[in-house]
Amino acid sequence: MITRNNAARFGVTLAVTAALVTALAACSTPAPSSTGGGTYSLWDPYPDRDATSTWAMAINACATDLGITIERNSGNTGDTVKDLTTAASNLPDIAMVDNPKVSTLADAGLLTTAKDNGLDVSDISPNILSAGEINGDVYGVPVGANTLGLYYNPTVLAAAGVDIASVKDYPSLTAALQKIVAAGKKGITFSAVGTEEGSFQFLPWFWGAGADLTKLDSPQAVSALELWTGWVKDGLAPNSVLANTQGTSWDEFLTGDFGFAENGSWFKGAADTAGYKSIQVPGIAGGVAPAPTGGEFISIPVQKDTSRYATSVKIVKCLTEGSAGATALGYIAPTQAGIDAQLTADPTLKFWAGAVGDAKPRTADNLGIKYSVISEQLYTAVQSALSGAMSPADALAAAQAKALENLK
């Protein structure tokens, strides 16, 4: 699982100040309350965001607008999911979890659907929303999203004679890495660590090769893993990728020695400061590879008093409908109106808004709770292949067999 409390924090460095001021101003316009007051509980996975944070400000603005009190409880992502599954008789009104965990909570019968609670999801970008959809029912909605891209160092590329416009597919990217290394620099860094972060970073290349998570040992999947293993074997990527988190991989890139780094939109601010640029991960034969979406979903847990859902829906809409919630967390907003507001406040977000628009949830294709099982076998296969313990084909064949065994 990717958490917010390590170097892979989603969205913490996007430029948010100007956009947040605009969003909160719009959100905090006084309006008559129709909720009748009351206290509502909200659990989120952001213990690092205290009462003075922009996120707390966004929640407080919603509470003021709705004429209610919102009591916020924060814990680490894993702790929040665990607490929800053990608090079935005393669930909060609103719960936020990393998007692949929505299916886990839904499968446990802890969440209401949009049909149950009356939440209108028609304005939310379908590609992001699908992470909260299982068998046609929507169990949660995104507060926003982020994704991965391919950062590059223009100085390193220029010294190696690499034109970024030439990088259009896997072969041309490999050729660029070879030129960079031949010029005395390092090629590319990424995270292939044996956790969800490793799967998260491998997915653009996996999907970009045309592979499907239901068949880990397909020829397309093998070609994607051969790309990564070839880079490491040929010295185009360092052996450190086996242990790199997304944070330590970024630290490597900040040394200025690398031409490329795969990493997330949450490093946009640092990249701007360093003069780095971004392109989307290319597909194996051209075009754009779909990268996975990151970010938390807001859900409405089951309540004995179903009359509470009406106000819970208003809280969810307040945090997701415009740009206030997404901007406070450093995400791209989940609605077009929210994105438009963010781009008005900060036009430099245009690249990442486009990348999120092309992205794909990890639980897409109705994988639901199957994703966590598949992901574990995928990052295990990546580790086995990159370490030289197994060939890419053998590693993925073993992964597919183990995934099928565990999903019986």
77 pLDDT tier (thresholds 50, 70, 90): low
In percent, the amount of the chain with pLDDT more than 90 equals 84
Question: Looking at residues 106-132, what average pLDDT do you find?
Answer: 95
Question: Does the pLDDT at position 24 exceed 70?
Answer: no
Spatial separation of the C-alpha atoms in residues 119 and 122, rounded to whole Å? 9
pLDDT at 101 over 60: yes
Predicted local distance difference test score (pLDDT) of residue 76? 77
Can you give the pLDDT at residue 408? Answer: 84
Q: Which of 172, 173, 157 is nearest to 258 (CA)?
A: 157
The pTM for the full model equals: 0.89
pLDDT for residue 336 is more than 80: yes
The second-level CATH assignment, the architecture, of 148-291+369-406 is 3-Layer(aba) Sandwich (3.40)
Query: What helix, strand, coil percent values describe the chain, rounded to 5?
Result: 50, 15, 35
| Strands in 8-122 per DSSP E | 39-44, 69-74, 94-98
CATH code for the domain defined by 17-146+293-357: 3.40.190.10
Q: Where are the domains of the chain?
A: 17-146+293-357, 148-291+369-406
Site of tokens 């046609």: 136
Mean pLDDT over 330-334 rounds to 95
| Cα–Cα distance, 21 to 342 (Å, whole number) | 11
* Percent of the residues in the chain that have a pLDDT greater than 70, as a whole number: 91
pLDDT tens-digit map of 226-244: 999 999 999 999 999 999 9
Residue 5 pLDDT > 60: no
